[in-house]
Amino acid sequence: MKRKGILFVISSPSGGGKTTVCQEILKESSDLAYSISVTSRRPRPGEKEGRDYFFVSEEEFDKRIQRDEFAEWAQIHGHRYGTPRKFLEETLNAGGAIILDVDVQGALKIKERYESACLIFLLPPSFEVLASRLKGRKTDDETDVELRLRRARKELASRKHYHHAIVNRELSQTIEEIKAVIAAERRRV
């Protein structure tokens, strides 16, 4: 019997470690596809079109909403981000496994729309560690860091909607825990 694919959603507050964790997991799992989101924000130094995001204008983002091209989309920190529906559904229909790095609003919309989605929440070890990782990343100015920290307090409360909550202390340990969740999900009948 052919099983439909598996959908993993990884969320955390900004700076919680989603990008780092997804990159590590993808390096080790060639049978896991990453869903590249569309965003209306500008690329950060070092970010590449079609690898990190598909970068589009606000007008183009509007058009894609009207054409129902997103499985979900959300407004975050003043910019819009969306998950392309076609790639997601084609991968699932072909029986593949796919991983999404989306915020809490996006994860909840995905859970509603794709009932079998497995939602994983990455928690920082403490608020202080989160602040220090965000500052250490040096990609956002002070105002942006403050905005992300304020938002993090609300997002942390949303972890109750997820299937798994993993504290991101030591990176290698976090990766092992996520791999265990993925392996268990693949064995589910």
Angle at 154 between CA 33 and CA 57, to 5 degrees: 50
**Binds 155, which of ligand ADP, ligand 5GP, none (CB < 5 to 8 A, cut-off by type)?**
none
Look-up: residue for tokens 């593949």?
96
Token pair listed for 76 = 């975050």
Among 97, 102, 118, 122, binds ligand 5GP (CB under 6 A): 102
133 lies in the site for ligand ADP, by CB under 6 A:
yes
Q: Which of residues 34-53 bind ligand 5GP (CB under 6 A)?
A: 37, 41
How far is the C-alpha of 134 from the C-alpha of 27, rounded, in Å? Answer: 23
What's 62's DSSP letter?
H
Q: How far is the CB of 183 from ligand 5GP (least distance, A)?
A: 23
How far is the C-alpha of 27 from the C-alpha of 171, rounded, in Å? Answer: 14
**Binds 20, which of ligand 5GP, ligand ADP, none (CB < 5 to 8 A, cut-off by type)?**
ligand ADP
Helix (H) or strand (E) holding 28: helix 18-28
26 lies in the site for ligand ADP, by CB under 6 A:
no
Among 14, 40, 91, 174, binds ligand 5GP (CB under 6 A): 14
Q: What pairs with residue 7 in β-bridges?
A: 98
Residues that bind ligand 5GP (CB under 6 A): 14, 18, 37, 41, 72, 74, 76, 81-83, 101-103, 105-106
